[in-house]
Chains A and B, each alone.
Chain A
Amino acid sequence: MTRTQSATLFALGLLAPATLYIIGIVAYPLVDTIILSFTNAALRPTYDWVGWANYERIFGAGNFNEVIVRTFIWTFFSVATKMVIGTCGAVLLNATIPGQTVFRILTMPPWVVPMAIGIFMWGWMYNGQFGMISGLLQNFGILSKPFPFLAYGNSAFWATIVTDVWIGVPMVTIYLLAAIQSIPKDLYEAAWTDGAGRFYRFRRITLPLMVPAMLTMSLLSLIATFNSFDIIWILTQGGPSGSTTTMIIDTYKTAIGSYKYGEGAARAVVICIFVSLFCIVYFRAVRQLSKGAVR
């Protein structure tokens, strides 16, 4: 055996546990989902192959198309808001002012605290009678009477977006902050020597050099948001009357709530197709960006 061969064998040995684990817990279930989506599996121990029937049913009747559109709108507004707030946050936290380190640490809680706990807190804040948002808005005279944010379709839709933004903002901020800090300082110094003002430096140096990181982060955020489950489930369980039912919630309700495994699997496969598309775009983008890296 040559040295290269033995090295390869050794490497494969080191990789075996991780690979087997992922095959067992991720790859096999993925394949199983695809197979199940062509069956009428339910609580019964046996099930039959039904071909495309599940797909015909979900696309033919019901509101699946509506759910897809709603998921995309929900995701779009959430990601866009996260990026805007995250960019502002990163720029603010980058300023060299006293308290900088403390402010950076204070940004992290929504990201590190158990998600469910943060969501419970929002659930209380949205309470119409006694919650903070409705209460403060009444105190300031903006609302004349209590407004239960999660009780109406429209407001519940936006309320879940706000909570999702809240959970996502810290990592966008910290990621973009790291991106800003990787911009070489001499660029700023050169511009400053030439008399460029702070805003001009921001617009001509910071912003253009942040674009790659912003692109990467929005794609990552897009995938995370698209898969978001906990927030909607704890706040509204997809209600009222389906107005916050995204694809993930819809799949969960079908499969776990109604025990329609086959049909639920078909819905899950549609999610996987979208996620794979995002994935391809993401990997392409990363490759492109690292090719023309400015750093």
Chain B
Amino acid sequence: MSHLARTAAASGAIAEGAETETTAAPTKARAKPRADKAMIDRYRWYEVVALYAGIAVFLFFVLAPFIEGFLVSLKPLSQLFSSPYSFLPKNGSFQAYFDMWRSVPALGIHIFNSIFISSVVTLIVIVIVVPASYAFARFEFAGSGLLLGAFLAVNMFSGAVLLIPLFRLMRAVGFLNTYWAMIVPGAAFLIPSSIWLLRTYLMRIPRELDEAAWADGASRLYTLRRVILPLAMPGIVVISIMTFIGAYAQQFIFALTFNSKTEFMPLPVGLFGFFGRQEVLWNELMAASFVGILPVMIVIVFLQRYLVAGLTAGAVKQ
């Protein structure tokens, strides 16, 4: 998946976050009589039925694998490999959630690796992106537009295309079979979209603030550190979350190609550990997947809140 597409969707999500805030009031007012709802938004009963039916079909497509995956994680292996097919588990149990740690002893390490790699990637991205997006948001110099375009073009190339030279590069600098082989290339492909997002955010902080600081004799670096950074914090939090989720979701191809050591494998590659010689422990694979999904889900709960907060609390408005 290209990171630019992610960015686009992210800015969509941000726009949506802002929107949720504005619609919060009508939601609260819903307890009042229906007449309060704008006439234009009123639906006839069959329209409501059609809307819910449509949403049900849409969400079934989106969520079906998770429903099936969860039910599989509850079924004992013997029931899993039996016909006829039954959708719901008979005498389901959470046994797989206990057994999986024994079947793949490194599972805990894989989950830790996933979180660790994503965290370091996020740190690197933030350190590199904050100054760069400030430069793009504030300074116009010859070729700045071109440079920004070049950064965005990076998004169009997936890591898979550059795998051969990256493999040689990682081997040359001795990163193969270390965390760095997954962190360094992973971060590179997340930098451009973050620059784009944060630049947009910084452009909304009025220039007058920079100029006032300048007039007071502050150096440029001091202005960035003491004036801009605190105001940009909500935006930085948003891109950190986006980057973390992106890094967590996409660690596969570099981990598959540049690392063969079990102790460094992140979860997506570690899941192959459930593919035994004889059979695949599907129920435990699914159980492990759900445990792996958990951190993102927790982050998402925060994301919802921070996206809204980040965009409304930006201290200064133009």
Interface residue ranges, A against B (CB under 8 Å)? 6-8, 10-15, 17-19, 21-22, 24-26, 28-30, 32-33, 36, 85, 88-89, 92-93, 95-98, 101, 103-118, 120-122, 124-125, 129-132, 134-136, 138-139, 146, 166-172, 174-179, 181-182, 188-189, 192, 198, 216-217, 220-221, 223-224, 227-230, 233, 248, 251-252, 255-256, 261, 264-265, 268, 271-272, 275-276, 278-279, 282-283
19 contacts between A and B (CB under 8 A): A11-B135, A19-B132, A21-B188, A26-B188, A32-B169, A101-B20, A112-B245, A115-B252, A116-B269, A120-B289, A124-B69, A124-B286, A130-B80, A131-B85, A132-B64, A166-B65, A174-B16, A178-B19, A223-B2
B157 to chain A, nearest CB (A): 6
Q: Is the interface of A mostly helix, strand, loop or mixed?
A: helix
Say whether B132 contacts A15, CB under 8 Å: yes
- 9-residue interface stretch from B47-55, B91-99, B100-108: B47-55
Say whether B8 contacts A15, CB under 8 Å: no
CA gap between A22 and B253 in the complex, in Å: 19
Residues on A with C-beta less than 8 A from B257 are 256
Count chain B residues whose beta carbon lies closer than 8 angstroms to a beta carbon of A.
113
| Given contact pairs A248-B161, A275-B161, A97 touches B51 in the complex (Cβ within 8 A) | yes
| Given contact pairs A103-B59, A124-B286, A171-B12, A227 touches B40 in the complex (Cβ within 8 A) | no
Residues on A with C-beta less than 8 A from B72 are 124
| Given contact pairs A95-B51, A113-B249, A177-B12, A227 touches B289 in the complex (Cβ within 8 A) | no
Residues on A with C-beta less than 8 A from B40 are 188-189, 192
B272 to chain A, nearest CB (A): 9
CA gap between A275 and B175 in the complex, in Å: 28
Chain A residue at smallest Cβ distance from B127 = A17
Say whether B12 contacts A113, CB under 8 Å: no
Not counting A12-B141, A97-B48, A171-B12, a sample of 18 additional A-B residue pairs whose C-beta atoms are within 8 angstroms of each other reads A10-B220, A22-B188, A30-B162, A101-B20, A110-B65, A112-B245, A112-B249, A120-B289, A121-B69, A125-B64, A132-B85, A167-B1, A169-B61, A177-B16, A178-B11, A189-B40, A268-B163, A275-B156
| Given contact pairs A14-B132, A17-B127, A29-B162, A116 touches B5 in the complex (Cβ within 8 A) | no
Q: A166, A182, A188, A224: which contacts B5 (Cβ < 8 A)?
A: A224
